[in-house]
Structures are given as C-alpha cells and as structure tokens.
C-alpha cells in the first residue's frame, strides 16, 4: 500500500450511531491510523451512542445534540488539531465544512457524498429541496468530493456546476465481518427465499417488489423485509391487498445483517435511486445474488447482469424474471463473491483514499 506524505487527517462525523456513512468513515479512519497515519476522529455527538469498533483511534466527542450548536466547537477543534486535511461525510456536515473552509485556506477540505442529489431530492420534503440549493452554493468551495458512483459524479457536473477535477469516484469497502462458516445455506428449490434490507421509504421501491412477487404462481416463496420507516404501514397494506401476508416476514432491525441475508436465495432491490447500496454489496460479499432495478446510483457498479445477479430495466422485466426464476440457474456462490471482493475489498478502497489524499 502506498504511503501518504506527511499529513494530519481530521475526520468529522455527526455521530457513531449505526449508519452507512458512520460505518464507512470510522472504518477508513481506523485503517489509516493503523497504517501509521496521524488521524483524529471528531464526533459531534456522544460517546454513549458509539456502536462501531475504532481500536485506539483518537476520538474527540463534542457532546452536542445538533450541528448548529457545534459550529464554533468544530472551528476550535480544527485550530487545535491543525490538520492537513479535513474529511467529512453526510450532506449537512459537508455544507458546514465547505463554509468553514473560508477560514482555513491552508487546509484541504474533502467531503464524501452519499446520494445522487438531484434525483434524491425529488423524494424528500421542502427541506431536501432547500438542502439541494445550499449544496449548489457551498460544495464548490470544497477541494475534493468523493462520489460513491459514476452517476453521482455526473450529477454533480450536470446539476451542481462542480469542476470535474474535484470529483473522485470511490465506492464503499466491504466492512461487515465474514460469516463464521463463510458458506451459504442451501435452501429447497421448492421454496425460494427473498430478502430486502433498507429503510421503508418511497425511493426504496418496496411497492415494485411486492407487485412482482404477487405475480408468482409456479413456485412457493418467502420474502423477508428488514427495516423500518415512514412507509411501513403503507407497505403492510399493499402486502395485505395482494394476499401475501402469509409469505412475508418483517424485521425492524438486526445487528446480524449477514446472517439474515445468508438464510435467503436472492436479495431484492426495488430502489428508484441509490447512493452506494451497502446491503447489496454485503449480499454479494457472501455469495447471495441480487435482483435489482437499474436505477441511478451505485447499484450497477456492484451488479454485473447475469453474473452476480440480475439488473432489470422496468416492472415488466422484473415481473417476468420473478415468474420464471425457478427455471433459471442461480448464479454460483463463488462467482457472486468474486467481483465485489476484487473491487471493493477493504485494502482496495483504502488504497484509493491513499491516492486521493496524496493528490492534495
């Protein structure tokens, strides 16, 4: 692995609660620290909320409930730490870092973005649309932006007027621990088991999945939904209307994501837009193939159609695939795993960040 030129890196996160950004950034900070880099993790929230292992990484907790109350503390921490690079993730924190950069001309500010913003804002409320406008005004002040997919990069160029030289595509690493057995459970071909993991919100497209499952008549199946959210009651009503209640199990939350995925034959993703879907990556990492809509975002960066899963263009193609799934050869476990471990293994992704930091 390439060494980073002498520098201090300050990572900024709102909390260390369970979340994709929190998991990836805490993992990256720990990895760089273990590679003998001078790293500090600045957390706006509280130590009691920490759910991720950080080893002996230096962590500073500001013990603040809201970002608004943290701004002056962040500036003080930057002055005290004197970092070469400040690295943040999550849009509202990135905005504050972009504004803070005005006061620290000798420090490089890099942000990691998690979604295709122009499309994602269509699924939010007025706050999301306002956030999009603020991002358009502020992100151009950042020295570099990490995009999790090529679609995200193209969105920044087309809709946010960001200089392409500032945009760097780096996917997420596989950070979940491997299963002890590292072997997929064999399930009966008489019953195909499906799973979806993600918040229950409109852009996740659970309705598209339910519609497709309702068309299956040639084989028995079971569908597990892991997640919680505002669309929960509506999704349950759709399941009832389609007489699928005996074939669907809801799990609000699990700390054993891989174990749940491992019980199933296929991971289903109905999303209309994605950032970089960690659950899809995790599914492939243990050999469970994915059936997903080819939506804007990082899904197509993970799934090679017909190899480690299937990408469909629309509802008709999705329905047809599910209806005939019992007649299709399931992608082989080792092939499903091979692509993601070649491209998103921890060492591969950390190396890309090394390269990015060396450029600054």
Q: Assign residue 260 the CATH number of its domain.
A: 3.40.50.2000
Is the pLDDT confidence value at 176 over 70?
yes
Answer left, alpha or beta for residue 187, where phi above 0 means left and psi between -120 and 50 means alpha. Answer: beta
Residue 41 lies in a domain: yes
d(CA 132, CA 22): 22
pTM of the full predicted structure? 0.90
Residue 168 lies in a domain: yes
Query: Based on the domain organization, do 65 and 118 belong to the same domain?
Result: yes
Tens of pLDDT, residue by residue over 257-314, are 999 999 999 999 999 999 899 999 999 999 999 999 999 999 999 999 999 999 999 9
Range of the domain at 350: 8-173+345-359
Query: Based on the domain organization, do 196 and 261 belong to the same domain?
Result: yes
Query: Based on the domain organization, do 20 and 146 belong to the same domain?
Result: yes
Query: Based on the domain organization, do 149 and 231 belong to the same domain?
Result: no
Query: Based on the domain organization, do 140 and 258 belong to the same domain?
Result: no
Closest CA to 49 of 33, 65, 34: 65
Query: Based on the domain organization, do 156 and 78 belong to the same domain?
Result: yes
**What distances in angstroms separate CA 353 from CA 65, 110, 147, 325, 343, one per listed residue?**
30, 11, 12, 39, 14
Percentage of the chain beyond pLDDT 90 is 79
Confidence of residue 186 (pLDDT cuts 50, 70, 90): low
**Is 122 or 321 the better-scoring residue by pLDDT?**
321
Asked if residues 61 and 43 have their Cβ atoms less than 8 Å apart, the reply is yes
Least confident of 54-68, 100-114, 172-186, 321-335: 172-186
Query: Based on the domain organization, do 216 and 350 belong to the same domain?
Result: no
Tens of pLDDT, residue by residue over 224-252, are 999 999 999 999 999 999 999 999 999 99
- Position 181 scores a pLDDT of 43
Query: Based on the domain organization, do 269 and 148 belong to the same domain?
Result: no
Residue 185 lies in a domain: no
Largest CA distance in the chain: 66
Is the pLDDT confidence value at 161 over 50?
yes
Least confident of 33-37, 217-221, 303-307, 308-312: 33-37
- Position 223 scores a pLDDT of 98
Query: Based on the domain organization, do 61 and 152 belong to the same domain?
Result: yes
Residue 183 lies in a domain: no
Residue 353 lies in a domain: yes
d(CA 267, CA 82): 45
Tell me the helices (H) and strands (E) count for the chain, helix number first.
Answer: 14, 13
- Position 342 scores a pLDDT of 95
Residue 178 lies in a domain: no
- Position 277 scores a pLDDT of 94
Is the pLDDT confidence value at 138 over 60?
yes
Query: Based on the domain organization, do 165 and 36 belong to the same domain?
Result: yes
Q: How many domains does the chain have?
A: 2
Query: Based on the domain organization, do 349 and 291 belong to the same domain?
Result: no
Average predicted confidence (pLDDT) for the chain: 92
Query: Based on the domain organization, do 338 and 196 belong to the same domain?
Result: yes
């Amino acid at each position: 692995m390439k060494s980073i030129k002498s520098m201090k890196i300050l990572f900024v996160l709102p909390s260390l609660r369970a979340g994709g950004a929190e998991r990836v950034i805490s993992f990256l900070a720990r990895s760089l620290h273990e590679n003998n880099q001078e790293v500090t993790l600045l957390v706006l929230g509280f130590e009691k909320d920490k759910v991720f292992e950080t080893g002996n990484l230096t962590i500073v907790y500001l013990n603040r409930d809201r970002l608004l109350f943290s701004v002056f503390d962040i500036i003080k921490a930057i002055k005290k730490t004197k970092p070469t690079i400040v690295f943040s993730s999550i849009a509202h924190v990135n905005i504050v870092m972009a504004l803070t950069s005005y006061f620290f001309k000798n420090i490089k500010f890099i942000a990691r973005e998690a979604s295709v913003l122009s499309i994602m804002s269509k699924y939010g409320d007025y706050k999301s649309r306002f956030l999009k406008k603020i991002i358009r005004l502020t992100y151009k002040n950042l020295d570099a932006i990490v995009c999790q997919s090529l679609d995200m990069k193209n969105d920044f160029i087309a809709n946010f007027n960001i200089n392409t030289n500032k945009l760097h595509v780096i996917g997420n690493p596989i950070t979940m621990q491997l299963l002890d057995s590292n072997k997929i459970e064999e399930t009966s071909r008489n019953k195909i088991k499906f799973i979806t993991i993600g918040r229950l919100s409109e852009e996740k497209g659970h309705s598209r999945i339910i519609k497709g499952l309702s068309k299956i008549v040639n084989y028995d199946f079971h569908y597990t939904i892991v997640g919680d959210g505002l669309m929960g009651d509506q999704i349950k009503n759709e399941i009832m209307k389609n007489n699928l209640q005996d074939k669907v199990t809801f799990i609000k939350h699990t700390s054993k994501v891989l174990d749940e995925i491992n019980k199933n034959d296929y991971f289903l993703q109905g999303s209309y837009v994605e950032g970089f879907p960690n659950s899809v990556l995790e599914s492939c990492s243990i050999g469970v193939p994915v059936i997903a809509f080819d939506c804007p975002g990082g899904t197509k960066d993970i799934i090679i159609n017909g190899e480690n899963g299937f990408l469909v263009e629309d509802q008709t193609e999705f329905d047809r695939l599910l209806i005939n799934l019992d007649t299709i050869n399931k992608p082989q476990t080792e092939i499903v795993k091979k692509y993601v471990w070649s491209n998103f293994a921890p060492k591969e992704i950390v190396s890309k960040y090394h390269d990015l930091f060396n450029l600054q």
